[in-house]
Amino acid sequence: MARSVLQRDINESGKVPFTVSIPAVAMWEYHEPCQHLIRETAKWCESLTQSSSDACLFSDIMQMLPSNALEGCEGYSQKLESTHNIGLCPYASCAHHGRLCDIRKRADFDCSGLPCPDMSTAGKKLKRAGVTSQVYIAHGRYTTEMQTPLLLIECTPELDMGMVEDTHPDHDFYQLFSEPTDVGFRGLARSRTWVIGAHRQRTTCLYDPFQIQSTLSAAFRANVQAQVSDFLVASPSEIQMEASRVSLQRGIPFLSHEPNLAYLLGKGELSTKQGLDSKYMNLYQQHPMSNNNLVYFLGDSAAYCSWSASSQKIPTYRLNSKSGKYWLPAQQRWMTSKERLCSMGFPCVKEVAESMVCRCSAQLTLPGLQTCVGTRCTLRLVASCS
Ligand SMILES: [Zn+2]
């Protein structure tokens, strides 16, 4: 998406004597429901750049390796050894074209969100000993074989960089770290790392990426600071509709005239809410209802203190946040799906949609969209410059 905006802005600026065209040539997404989002994103990129890409959409990155490549391998080192210089499978099933397509794309730029469950503190921190190390091996094998000039790998800050270097031997890496506040979303916590991989023979670093990131973050911090209350964009009818859906799911009679939705919370959620209310009053000597930026995550117990009280940020969306409620004491309700998407930059309201040059995503009950809330889609996108 950033690449499309860049392409449009450069072409509209008239500052270069040629037309920039960076079409996507292939995308990988393991989870079928998330493929819907990938298609939507590709369409948005095409409308923004006024171009078409016809990119392939593949599913499992492991299909790049021969099916018996990891047979009998125990542990990371053996897997790495057995796939060293192994040939790629040339074809894979493509959901876009409905047939087997050639995966060997000569792309200039590869942008990948590689699996984080084995890295993060929320997981077991198995790192290279975890099962997802084979995805890094496949990715490294592909980008090494194709001599992809530029990589961008997104993951949690706990990413096993030693494994990334092992699996991508021909690239030099620059590891950047970011928080949403670096791009104006001060009200959300989500630490990420962005690793730039530059092929040793095919690229030259012209500008210090750390310096560029620092300059951009300073500009955003100075000009945009969206806080939790800025994300509360649901209308009264949208809030009631979501309450009605939850009442049906939980078998609790729906009370259309009751603005306080605490009656729809489960026993554990109520206990967490009450525990955090007490903690907040003890710590800050004020009632939680007086803080418009206060959010509790009710998917954890009160002992974990998953709240925005100290950081002023919505706790990081995790796998269990798909069903867990983010409670807003001042509003006496939870954040709706639309508001959570808004906090992540989705075009859920007209103003945001217009700034992104797209239609407002008013229909937020699409299965793919719901499934992806609170999780990180494993998106891999390969683009080529021409
Ligand atoms: Zn295809």
DSSP secondary structure, 312-341, as one string: SSBPPP-GGGGTS-EEETTTTEEPPHHHHH
pTM: 0.81
Residue 95 CA to ligand 1 center (angstroms) comes to 7
pLDDT for the residue numbered 382: 53
Residue 97 CA to ligand 1 center (angstroms) comes to 5
Q: Are 126 and 14 members of one domain?
A: yes
Question: Does residue 350 lie in a domain region?
Answer: no
Is 50 exceeded by the pLDDT of residue 260?
yes
Residue 65 CA to ligand 1 center (angstroms) comes to 18
Q: Are 181 and 91 members of one domain?
A: yes
- Total count of domains within the chain: 2
Q: Are 121 and 245 members of one domain?
A: no
Is 50 exceeded by the pLDDT of residue 376?
no
Residue 91 CA to ligand 1 center (angstroms) comes to 10
Residue 267 CA to ligand 1 center (angstroms) comes to 49
DSSP secondary structure, 275-297, as one string: HHHHHHHHHHSS-GGG-TT--EE
In this structure, what token pair is assigned to residue 78? 């053996």
Q: Are 154 and 267 members of one domain?
A: no
* Mean pLDDT for the stretch of residues 281-286: 96
Q: Are 136 and 260 members of one domain?
A: no
Residue 164 CA to ligand 1 center (angstroms) comes to 28
pLDDT for the residue numbered 360: 64
The larger pLDDT score, comparing residue 370 to residue 243, is at 243
- How many Cβ atoms from other residues are within 10 Å of residue 174's Cβ? 14
Q: Are 286 and 215 members of one domain?
A: no
Is 70 exceeded by the pLDDT of residue 122?
no
Residue 383 CA to ligand 1 center (angstroms) comes to 14
Is 70 exceeded by the pLDDT of residue 373?
no
Give the Cα-Cα-Cα angle 158, 120, 328 (nearest 5 degrees). Answer: 120
Question: Does residue 359 lie in a domain region?
Answer: no
Question: Does residue 305 lie in a domain region?
Answer: yes
Q: Are 74 and 221 members of one domain?
A: yes
Residue 57 CA to ligand 1 center (angstroms) comes to 6
Arithmetic mean of pLDDT over the chain: 89
pLDDT for the residue numbered 141: 97
Question: Does residue 360 lie in a domain region?
Answer: no
Residue 98 CA to ligand 1 center (angstroms) comes to 7
Q: Are 154 and 93 members of one domain?
A: yes
**Structural domain harbouring 269:** 235-335
Q: Are 174 and 267 members of one domain?
A: no
Q: Are 248 and 140 members of one domain?
A: no
pLDDT for the residue numbered 386: 36
Question: Does residue 289 lie in a domain region?
Answer: yes
User: Where residue 364 falls among pLDDT bands split at 50, 70, 90?
Assistant: very low
Residue 24 CA to ligand 1 center (angstroms) comes to 12
% the chain with pLDDT above 90: 73
pLDDT for the residue numbered 375: 31
Q: Are 203 and 250 members of one domain?
A: no
Is 50 exceeded by the pLDDT of residue 366?
no
The 3-state DSSP class for residue 260 equals coil
pLDDT (tens digit per residue) in 143-183: 999 999 999 999 999 999 999 999 999 999 999 999 999 98
Distance in angstroms (rounded) separating the CA atoms of residues 168 and 151: 10
Which residues touch 38 (CB under 8 Å, ≥6 apart)? 27, 29, 57, 377, 379
User: Where residue 359 falls among pLDDT bands split at 50, 70, 90?
Assistant: low
pLDDT for the residue numbered 296: 97
CATH number for position 31? 3.40.50
Residue 58 CA to ligand 1 center (angstroms) comes to 7
pLDDT for the residue numbered 271: 96
Q: Are 186 and 320 members of one domain?
A: no
User: Where residue 128 falls among pLDDT bands split at 50, 70, 90?
Assistant: very high
